[in-house]
Structure 1
Amino acid sequence: MEAMKISKPFYGLGIFACVAIYVVYVKWHLDSKPISGITEGAIESRTDKLDHQTLTMNDAAFYGIMFDAGSTGTRIHIFKFTQKSKETPKLIHETFKALKPGLSAYADDVDKSAQGIQELLEVAKDDVPMELWKFTPLVLKATAGLRLLPGEKAQKLLDKVKEIFQASPFLVRDDCVSIMNGTDEGISAWITINFLTGSLNAPRKRSVGMLDLGGGSTQVTFLPIAETTLQTSPAGHRTSFQMFNNTFKLYSYSYLGLGLMAARLAILGGIEGQALKEGEELISPCLSPGFQCEWEHAEIVYRIKGQKAGEPLYESCSNIVAELLSQKVHKTQEVKDLDFYAFSYYYDCAAEVGLIDKEKGGSLSVNDFEIAAKYGNSV
């Protein structure tokens, strides 16, 4: 992998920008007419100005609202676009806010999920001009957190959100709330980063890959240059779609259970979604000897404890991680020669140990993570 770029604006934008782009883009062209024109648990609120371009009378401004229901939090992205006649929409402004915990935490009491959704809708009302509310699409896409739930529980949560959305003043379609499958999640992130970097105009020359690390799953997506990459990849790792009169054939896969929190639980020896008996502990050489604490994941509190390893700490933990990944992850050689943009927990981990600037992001290699772990700055 030539370089991994972790940039603050793209981190904040999140992986769902392109879904909103897609929603408003399709709506725009189907309509063929212009449109005039915090409670406990809050963890982040900001507005990003992605482009300070002065709008002219020839630019039409419109909005899209995207809820990202992840395993560790629910986030709202409010996108403002402009579009000149017969041109691709341009994203000029984004408002972002996130709340903890994730929607899946309310699986046994769906009514409690309403407060957070309503709070985020108020952010949208403040950001979108009132005269454009009824023209502004409102969409929620859920990811690994809900994919890991039993189907009936997940559906009850989706039904509750849809009920709240339908009572809002925004544009709500029948399919406004859904669970995204892992492939679509990867495609969405790939479109987003290549849309924003201007690479979609010449994707085979300039496109970049995408790495996203959520709480419950992780995605890798890129446009292969070598046809043999697709030919030798498992069927589930290949996908294609059409956009802007082009067909894109991507390598894309979502590893459910290898998000940061889910993988951490597996590495510690626990089982996703299974409560431990009273007093039972998870003991692992991936934690320093003598270390012990309580760790909460998916509303289950685990007691975790370090142990003395038979070999150096890094090697002991690395062997456990390598064994887990070797059973689940498909390897392809072409990634070594490509640049990737990384999102979400990749950003958090890199910033936490000083590999990138916390505010600006930065560029690094996969080996930088390994060095940080090996020499004591464990992520």
Structure 2
Amino acid sequence: MAAPSLLLALSVWLVAGSLTAEATYYRHHRYVPHFYRYREHAANAENQLPEVSNPVAAAPQHVPEVFHPAPEVIPPIPEAFHPVPEVVHPAPEPYRPPTVRRRAPDGFSPVGTVRVFYGVMFDAGSTGTRIHIYRFVQKDPIELPVLDNELYHAVKPGLSAYKDNPEEGGNSVRQLLKIAKKTVPEEEWRRTPVILKATAGLRLLPEDKADTLLKEVRGVFDESPFFVPNNSVTIMNGKNEGVLAWVTVNFLTGHLYSNTRRTVGILDLGGGSTQITFLPKSRKTIQAAPSTYIARMNLFNHTYQLYTHSYLGNGLYAARLATLGALGADGLDWKIFTSSCLPKKFREDVTFGGTTYKVSGIPDGYAGYKLCYYEVMKVVKGIVHQPLEVKGSSVFYAFSYYYDRAVESGLIDRSRGGTVEVRDIKKKAKEVCNKMTKYRAISPFLCMDMTYITCLLKEGFGFKDSTVLQLAKKVNNVETSWALGATFDYFRNLAIE
């Protein structure tokens, strides 16, 4: 009977050793992931990884030592507007968060408790109105809150389309507020700010019509159960639009936390306007730029001096009309606006900003990339300022219609986005324009749009063929727009000048 007892004891010993080895293997890879080996970490950072008990401690003392190295003790990465816990941003040096200069709604961050709060930002653009509902978590009142998630929804057309029917414009906002009521818990409604900022669509309208629309939206907000701050419904100036989009992208990519202070530029192409914003590396860029193209902003105890400008009338839809000679034209009831950028047999009524235009290809004429390029050149050449540094090696994130048209033309994949060079966009524009029949089913304006984007980048901003653009709709599951930056500005006051 001694032999079976010995065999049983040996089996238990082997099984216990195997389980301990597996537990140690999990712990080793759970706490020392690949990316930690290349990151810097702040000494006083709060632990962001969930606590996991040490499996080895539960093992019997007589079990042999497992040959897995003990994990190195590494300070964790701080949470600071982190969109998804699985993604790690570069760690910042220790800093004191900026003072909140604006009084937040009651209950914003009670001391000693975990505070969950929300922000609702409306982006009233020229082609649609979008709602961004952000959920934040703040574990410590002296730390920056963490961006937990975002809910995004959009309706078309934009507010400017209701210039002669403001009540319907208000209804489009009311429709989106219903989504906010379903998303934000009822007990948080009175503490959740709702803000609407309109962009180029309303900037292009006569002042009286724009004011009537804004007044209607303010009435809709006042009816809602949410917190309505002062100046909650406004037209945002183009400078802030570019700066806040830059904040959003560099926030989500982690560049604002990098010790090197390296950042990425942004290119935003809307329906009515387009923006370029970047942090200049050279003093000459700032000195050579018009004074109105430079903005100062305070963030994380740093003052950033940005090159930024918004070109009203150079958004994609406004540029289409300008190329056709229709923007600001009269006699719209009988005039037909033609272009060699359109298929020869194409003819259609196009509505933008509540106004309808008759547009057509040239039935008996020529069409193609070269002729189209000459047409769109007049919308760009001499109008867009060329900053010195864009001819260098800076990386730019391009989104909105840059991204949409790259997807539609097959230049990038919709689900992943992608990195392209300016020369890739030019090559695809030539292909689309020389095969208009093939691409007409996708969009009869695709040749015009891709050619305009090419011309805007090369002849307008002055980018080289080798300039790298990162085309993206989202960064870490958050929309690449100015909306997050604007929400952050509301809670923290970035003091943009």
TM-score by length of 1: 0.82
The equivalent residue for 1:292 is 347
- Retained in 2: the 8 A contact 1:77–1:95? yes
Query: Deviation string for 1:78-108 (max 9, x for gaps)?
Result: 0011223222222121111101111111111
Is 1:34 aligned to residue 109 of structure 2?
yes
Q: Distance in 1 between matches of 2:259 and 2:120?
A: 27
For 2:145 and 2:168, how far apart are their aligned partners in 1? 37
Q: Larger relative CO (CA 8 A, sep 6+): 1 or 2?
A: 1
- Could you tell me whether the CA contact under 8 Å between 2:269 and 2:399 is conserved in 1? yes
Count of residue pairs brought into register by the alignment: 336
Offset, 1:70: 0.3
TM-aligned CA distance change 1:33 to 1:280, over 3 Å: closer
Q: In 2 relative to 1, CA 59–362 (structure 1 residues): closer, same or farther, beyond 3 Å?
A: farther
- Alignment partners' CA distance in 2, 1:358 and 1:275: 39
Indicate the residue corresponding to 2:156 in structure 1: 100
Identity among equivalent positions (%) equals 46
1:171 maps onto 2:227 in alignment: yes
Residues 1:290 and 1:223: Cα distance change in structure 2 (over 3 Å)? same
Alignment of 1:113-124 (within 5 A): 113-124=169-180
* Higher-Rg member (1/2): 2
Match of 1:237 among 293, 301, 315: 293
TM-score (norm: length of structure 2): 0.64
Indicate the residue corresponding to 1:331 in structure 2.
386
User: Could you tell me which residue of structure 2 aligns to residue 132 of structure 1?
Assistant: 188
Could you tell me which residue of structure 1 aligns to residue 202 of structure 2?
Answer: 146
**Equivalent residue number for residue 46 of structure 1:** none
Deviation of 1:288 (Å): 3.0
Alignment-derived partner of residue 168 in structure 2:
112
> Retained in 2: the 8 A contact 1:310–1:316?
no
Residues 333 and 67 of structure 1, relative CA distance in 2, 3 Å threshold: same
1:20 corresponding residue in structure 2: none
Shift of 1:310: 7.9
Query: In 2, distance between residues paired with 1:249 and 1:30?
Result: 31
Following the alignment from structure 1 to structure 2, what is the Cα–Cα distance between the partners of residues 66 and 30? 15
Letter in 2 for 1:135: R
In structure 2, distance between residues paired with 1:345 and 1:209 = 16
Aligned equivalent of 1:81, options 136, 152, 156: 136
In the alignment, the residues of structure 1 paired with residue 224 and residue 127 of structure 2 have an alpha-carbon distance, to the nearest angstrom, of 25
Structure 2 counterpart of 1:208, one-letter code: V
Letter in 2 for 1:75: R
State the alpha-carbon separation in 2 of the partners of residues 252 and 309 from structure 1: 43
Deviation at 1:361, TM superposition (A): 1.6
Give the gaps of 5 or more residues in structure 2: 1-82, 84-99, 434-446, 451-497
Q: Which moved more, 1:93-102 or 1:276-285?
A: 276-285
| Corresponding residue number in structure 1 for 2:248 | 192
What's the CA shift string for 1:244-280, capped at 9, x where partnerless?
A: 22111000000000000001100111124x4534332
| Counterpart residue number, 1:12 | none
Contact 1:183 1:253 in 2 (8 A): yes
Alpha-carbon contact 1:285-1:317 (below 8 Å) kept = yes
Q: Is 1:314–2:330 an aligned residue pair?
A: no
* 1:59–1:275 distance in 2 versus 1, CA, 3 Å: farther
| 2:322 aligned with 1:266 | yes
Structure with a larger share of its residues in strand: 1
